[in-house]
Amino acid sequence: MSVDRPPDDRKSAFVPLALLAVFSLLLAAFAAAPFLAHPVLEEEIAGKANVLRLQRAKTRSLNRSQLSAMTPQAARRAFLRATTDGIAGAELQQRILNIAARLGLEVQSSQSLQPVRSDGLALIAVRLELTGTIAHLQALLHSIETSEPILFVEQLSIAVAPSNRAAKKSASNDPNPQTKTLQIGLTVQGYLDEEQSS
């Protein structure tokens, strides 16, 4: 035989269940929030990569005859200025390190790469490993793209920093993609006109 409870007892039995259900939904939403922001980051990064591809194609389309038609002032602004490719590599490396420090990026490593020579030009390159946010990366790319001499990014790799991967599991993780710490690897290149440097 079943015992009927008064209607107030039935309602009070459902309150803890309802609270548990609401708490479970909130917990699930909070846990999923960082993963929902991931597509936003991917789309933003894809757009920046496309801009870099266009810039690279534009720079590489220059040839010696076009370069010789440049005014001396334009040539001075377009090329790295140094007496040797070693000095040009060191100056390029220091220039990028200064930009990164000014923008608040943390430099993990940097190295000058072996120059590549073609048609009187030396392609000078520097490889850097940095950490920072997407906003730092945007500011860095803008500074590189708008600098004189003409510099461009040959390679760019971006990953969520390991400390952020652990934070994804933490309840205190910030779902805002702008604040995620990223590991950034990039190769910055510029040209040294060896004929003008001699």
pLDDT in tens, 139-170: 999 999 888 888 988 899 999 877 654 455 44
Please state, for a pLDDT cut of 70, what percent of the chain lies above it. Answer: 61
ω into 34 cis (within 30 of 0):
no
* Angle between helix 85-103 and 134-145 (nearest 10): 140
pLDDT value at position 95? 93
Record the pTM: 0.60
Start-to-end CA distance of the chain, whole Å, equals: 106
Q: What is the pLDDT of residue 63?
A: 55
* CATH 3.30.70.60 assigned to 7-197: yes
Confidence of residue 184 (pLDDT cuts 50, 70, 90): very high
Highest mean pLDDT among 16-30, 38-52, 68-82, 146-160: 146-160
Q: Which residues contact 123 (CB under 8 A, 6 or more apart)?
A: 115, 116, 117, 189, 190, 191
In tens, the pLDDT along 101-144 reads 999 999 999 999 999 887 778 899 999 999 999 999 999 999 99
- Predicted local confidence at residue 25, as pLDDT: 74
Domain extents in the chain: 7-197
